[in-house]
Structures are given as C-alpha cells and as structure tokens.
Amino acid sequence: MATTLLTIGEFSRMTHLSVKALRHYHDVGILEPAEVDPHSGYRSYGADQVTPAQVIRRLRDLGMPLDSIRAVLRAPDLAARNREITDHLERMERQLEQTQAAVSGLRALLSAPAPRARIEFRTIPAVTALAVAQVVTVADFAAWATEVLADLTGALTATGLAVAGPFGALFPGDFFELERSEVTIFVPVTPASETRVSETRVSETRGGVAGLPAGGRVRLTAIPGTEAAVAVHDGPADDVDRTYGALGTVVADRAIGVDGPIREYYPDGIGEAGPPRTEVCWPVFRTAGD
Amino acid sequence: MATTLLTIGEFSRMTHLSVKALRHYHDVGILEPAEVDPHSGYRSYGADQVTPAQVIRRLRDLGMPLDSIRAVLRAPDLAARNREITDHLERMERQLEQTQAAVSGLRALLSAPAPRARIEFRTIPAVTALAVAQVVTVADFAAWATEVLADLTGALTATGLAVAGPFGALFPGDFFELERSEVTIFVPVTPASETRVSETRVSETRGGVAGLPAGGRVRLTAIPGTEAAVAVHDGPADDVDRTYGALGTVVADRAIGVDGPIREYYPDGIGEAGPPRTEVCWPVFRTAGD
DNA sequence: TTGCTCCTCACGTCACGTGAGGTGGC
DNA sequence: TTGCTCCTCACGTCACGTGAGGTGGC
C-alpha cells in the first residue's frame, strides 16, 4: 500500500520545518525522503513521515544536537531511546543551574565591591595521598569530581588508611588557559607502617598498595609541598573566580609568583549540603616582608 | 599610579577565561588589554580589568551574545545597562517556556497516537476586516501577534465598528517554508452603513476610515473567501503542528489542495487564560465526495 | 642555551540561513 | 509559455577551539 507522497513544500507546511532544514536533515541522514527523483532530484515525503518530523522538531526545540537526535531515532528499543532523551534533559538541567548561578553571581558582582580577600601565606608540607589524576575540561570538571570523590572514599575504606587532611585538588596553570589539562584530586593519608615508604618509593610503587584495585584509577601518590598565598572562598563554586582574581592581584602586587599548580582545599568536606568553603592556594616564593 | 600589569596567562588564571577567549575579546573590542607591546604583540592586562572580565564571564554564562555584552559594558548609565540585561533575561525566559512546551509536547507525541483530526469542509465567505499585515518570522510571531491584538482591539474601540466574527490570521505557504513571510491578523467587522463599501472600494480606500489613525498599521481590508478543510486544534500553540500534519495528510489523501494562504481562527478569543482553541483552515477545491 | 610563554594566521565546529544561478512540472 | 517550485553549490553566522609555525623573554 503506497502511502501518499508529498512535495517538500507541502511537507514543510505540515510539519512547520523549513525547506532548508528538511534538506539539511536529508543531507545528514536524519530524515530521508521516501523517494528522490533520480532525474530532477525532487524529494518526496510520505505522510507517515510527519510524526517522525514532529519528533525531530521537538527535540530540536529542546536544543538537542542532530547527532543525538539520530541516536534517538535509531535507538534499538524504548530503553535506549529514553536514555538518550533523559541524558539530554539532564544536560539541560545542569545548564539551567549554571544560568541561575550566573544570574545571582552577576547580581552580587554588580552590587557588591570586589571582595578584599583576606590572604595568608602558608607553607604546605608534602604529603602522601590517595589520588586520581586525569585530563579533564573545565566543563566536565564538576561531574568528574563527583565520581572521583566516590572512588577516593571507596579507596579509603578498602585500604583502611587514615585520613590526614582535607580533600584537595591540583590545577596546572593551563587548565584555566586552555580549559583542559591533567587535574589531580587527592586526600592525604597516614600510611600504615608496613606500607610507609619514602616519597620516592611511593612514586615508584604507584598502585602497589594492599586494598587498591589494580585496574582502578586511584593511586597512592606523593603530593609535593609548596609555599602559597591562600584565600578562602565562601560561596558558590561558580563564583570562585572572584577569589582567584583577588588572590592573583595580591600575589602580583606583593609577592613573587612561582611555577606549580594552583591548588584548592575543601576543609568542610564535600557534600550536597550547600556550597563548601574552598581554600585557594597560589604558589609563591616568600620574601621577608610577608 | 600605574596599576599592576599581568600577562595574558596570569590574567587567564585569575579570571578563568581561556587565553583564546581573551584574545577573541580583544579582537572584537570587548576587553582591550591595558597595553600591547608594539614589537612583540604581547598583551598586558591591568589588575583593574579583573572585575570587568568577571562580568563578561557571567554574561557569557547567561548565553548573552558578545554584541549585547559590548552594549552592556558601554552603556552610558545604569538604566541602559539594566535594560540590556533584563531584555536578555526575558529572551531566556521565553526560551525556557519553549523548552518546557517541547518537553510536554514530546511526551504527548511519544505516548499518544497521532490525533485523527476531525475534519470538516467549510465555505468561508469573504469579509471586511480590520487587519494588520506585516512581514514577520516564525520566531517573532508570538510577540508580534500580542502587539497586533492590542492594536486591533484599540481600533475596534476607536472606529466603533461591530465585530462580525472571531479573530483570524492568514499565513502564506512560504511563512512555514522560509520561516518568514507577510502574515495578516484580522478581525471581521460589520462596516457602519456610511462606511460600507464594495470589496474593491475597501481595497482602494485603505486607511480612509473614521477613527483609524492615519499613521497606524491597522487597515480596513477585504479578506477573501475560500473553501477549506478545517480541523480544530485544542492545546498549546507549540503543538499546533500536529494538527497541521493530520489536516495536511487528509487533504493530500482525499481532496485537492489549492493555492492561497493557510488561515487560523481563534473562536474563543485570545486571552491569557490557557491555550485557546485554534481552527486551522487548509484551502481546498471541493469535490462531490466531500 | 633551553624551555616556556606568547604571537599570528588559517581552518573547523554546529545547524542551518542566504543568496546565486539554474531546471522541472503543470 | 509563464510562473512557481524545486534543485545544487558556495558562503555566512557565532564564539571561540584546534593546530601549525614561529618568536620573545628569562
């Protein structure tokens, strides 16, 4: 039974998709016309393609990229289809949260003066830590950090190591400059006596710790010490750049910045209960005046 | 007093804007470095540029285009600045509403079968109407329609003409195909006897009606009649394409579509109280079987 | 001197929109 | 035959990201 065929113009009027969009969807294989005249190139659409076209229109209205739409349309079953869609809705939700944070952050920025960060200089000792290091982008950092925290918490239990300080993270300079670099999240531990090793030994024996799964990404690592100018950021994570700005200004004015990753510590722990405080540590070379 | 100068890398770390973004903002004149070395091209930023940079970051997080950000930064006073920002927030709000409509529309589309539109064939007579015709895009239509309805309501009062039927709109085919065309919104009226004129006369004397402001866009116009297949859409405006699809399918199957604009009538009036019903009228050439 | 930072093109991305220039079908 | 619909390039949009290839500064 041949279904009624429609010209691209008729099909456009019926679906409220522009002719240009329909041709594009053909080009990228998202909505192939039922027939294409081999001589003239004229496209013909079937009446049964109206519903798929309407689905496409709504997914585009949701801001879903064409690649994801293709995945939805070609999903082998309802579960896979729903996964694609809910994944996208979650992405949108995260974006909405970011937008809301930007609104309130902007209000704060325009109404309040720049926070004159209270800055202290601190000597941070080297420690042994359970750590995960991976190349991530700024955009992916929050989601990645959540996973890593779960892994580190699991590793603490598995190894029985005692926590020796707050969770922290190392950000190489180019993480902010390129929006992508190898970030380390760590939790300092007191190694049990039988696993206590020199820093060198630790680096050499990465992963060779009882309780750490061999294939996992958590490693027992040496986190180097540093001298740093430290400011506490008390507020939403999205506004941490204000503290970076205030801290960087002071360092540029009054101290000698040195190489080495910027680090953050989370002294309140990291839970879902409101924004935790963040200690931002900017490596410096201390002079007598500090 | 010279403010501390920072390299682009330092400035990037302090503001969490990527180096590439900073160079781009320089290129398009949104954030000019305090100094540029004429020999090496090296950019230097002042510590006092950190706050503007943070504002830019938040406006970008709000999805504000760079042109609007430039307008915000160069606004002569707080009122102008706030106007730019609230304008953008309103655009975002409208987009959010559309997204929500898409979510519920998608749910309906995936769960319920295509509405088997109840279709009737109707002969629509020519009428005289107060009307506004203007080239608009699909994206702008809703906002534009709201304005026009206010104008038409005002014109009804001003002229004292009696309403002779529900509000309606004419959409040429290429409105959907190109997403932009001349749309007409109208309200049929019974001309007072002294202004009653033949259709031809009406066309010739556009605007020459007592009470209509000469410079306004409302005109007394003849709306031609037509024969049409009609389906009623009962639901959100964003889902009207479902009725278009069902109606177009029936027309393609069972009748002879003819030229002429698609029209919509709004028999419940157009208020803020929930989605009004929409009669969608598709021009056809009737045959004996209908 | 090495290695790091910074520089400038030139091109890619994404989902189409905007013409230009031409042809098919009633 | 006219005029409308449809066709295919080729290029533009927007806010940068991604290299390539090269230079400055400590």
* Per-position DSSP letters for chain A, written without gaps between them: -PPPEEEHHHHHHHHT--HHHHHHHHHTTSS--SEE-TTT--EEEEGGGHHHHHHHHHHHHTT--HHHHHHHHT-SSHHHHHHHHHHHHHHHHHHHHHHHHHHHHHHHHHHSPPP---EEEEEEPPEEEEEEEEEEETTTHHHHHHHHHHHHHHHHHHHTPEE-S-EEEEE-HHHHHHSEEEEEEEEEEE--GGG---HHHHHHTTT-STTS-TTSS-EEEEEPPEEEEEEEEES-GGGHHHHHHHHHHHHHHHSEE-SS-EEEEETT---SSSPPEEEEEEEEE--TT-
A37 pLDDT exceeds 80? Answer: yes
The residues near A49 (Cβ < 8 Å, ≥ 6 apart) are A11, A31, A33, A34
Instruction: Name the closest residue on chain A to residue B113, using Cα atoms.
Output: A51
pTM for the full predicted model: 0.81
A-B contacts (CB, under 8 Å): 159
Mutate to test the interface with A, among B106, B119, B183 (most CBs of A within 10 A): B106
For residue range B196-240, list pLDDT tens digits in order. Answer: 444 434 443 444 566 777 778 999 999 999 999 999 998 888 889
Q: Which residue of A has its CA nearest to B258?
A: A10
Hey, which residues 155-194 in chain B have their CB within 8 Å of chain A? 173, 176-179
- Distance to chain A for B58, nearest Cα, Å: 5
- Nearest-5° angle of CA A120, CA A114, CA A104? 115
pLDDT score of B2:
59
- Considering A229-238, A251-260, B7-16, B79-88, the range whose residues carry the highest mean pLDDT is B7-16
Protein-covered nucleotides on strand C (Cβ within 7 A): 5-8, 14-18, 23-25
Chain A residues near residue B53 by CB distance under 8 angstroms = 245
Give the pLDDT of residue A115.
Answer: 64
Higher-confidence position of A259 and A171: A171
> Which residue ranges of chain B lie beneath pLDDT 50?
1, 194-207, 290
Return the nearest residue to C6, CA–C1': B42
Spatial contact of A141 and A272, defined as CB atoms under 8 Å apart: no
A15–B138 CB contact, under 8 Å: no
CA distances from A273 to A45, A232, A268 (A): 54, 18, 10
The predicted pLDDT at position B164 comes to 94
Q: What is the mean pLDDT of residues A11-35?
A: 95
Which of A184, A154, A182, A180 minimizes the C-alpha distance to A168? A184
pLDDT on residue A162:
93
User: Which nt sits closest to B60, CA to C1'?
Assistant: D15
B68 touches chain A (CB under 8 A): no
Q: Does B94 touch chain A (CB under 8 A)?
A: no
pLDDT category, A60, cuts 50, 70, 90? very high
A11 or A139: which carries more pLDDT confidence? A11
A123/B contact by beta carbon, under 8 A: no
Query: CA–CA separation, A25 vs A19, rounded Å?
Result: 10
| pLDDT (0 to 100) of residue B207 | 46
Task: Look at phi and psi of residue A246 and say left if phi exceeds 0, alpha if psi is from -120 to 50, else beta.
Answer: alpha
Nearest beta carbon to residue A99 from set B20, B62, B238: B62
pLDDT in tens, A171-220: 998 898 888 889 999 999 997 654 444 443 444 344 456 677 777 899 99
Long-range contacts of B88-96 (CB under 8 A, 24+ apart): B88/B62, B88/B63, B88/B64, B89/A103, B89/B62, B92/A99, B92/B62, B92/B63, B96/A96
pLDDT at residue B193, rounded to an integer: 52
In the prediction, which pLDDT does A196 show?
45
Are the beta carbons of A264 and A166 closer than 8 angstroms? Answer: no
Per residue in A72-125, pLDDT (tens digit) is 999 999 888 888 898 899 888 888 888 888 988 888 888 776 666 688 999 999
Residue B109: which residues within 8 A CB-CB, separation 6 or more?
Answer: A51, A54, A55, A58, B242
